[in-house]
Structure 1
């Protein structure tokens, strides 16, 4: 059932029906985890949020 809720939340977020926080809640994830899920699936994040900076060794 978890997968169905996640797919539904992703679909509703992508279509603009749910906000980021609503979709994360619907999916049963924290907002940070849901953002990671969106990024991994190549789904653009609509809301302006402060993403954690990734540090690269260099």
Structure 2
């Protein structure tokens, strides 16, 4: 499992090209590992001035 293969797998999964299980196979990891990576690299929503 390389960072490039996981990044590719996440891209394919997020674009709904592959299922989670298929993307995990492409990334060379388990579905659980891919989910964990997806959460770790999830985009952070920008804060609004109203959040304070």
TM-score (norm 1): 0.63
Note the aligned Cα RMSD (angstroms): 1.8
In our comparison, the structure showing a higher alpha carbon Rg is 2
Of structures 1 and 2, the one with the larger relative CO (CA 8 A, separation 6+) is 2
TM-score (norm 2): 0.69
Match of 1:20 in 2: 20
Structure 1 stretches of 4+ moved >6 Å: none
How many residues align? The count is 43
Deviation at 1:24, TM superposition (A): 0.7
| SS at structure 1 position matched to 2:7 | helix
Give unmatched runs, 5+ long, in structure 2: 44-52
Going by fraction, where is helix more abundant, 1 or 2? Answer: 2
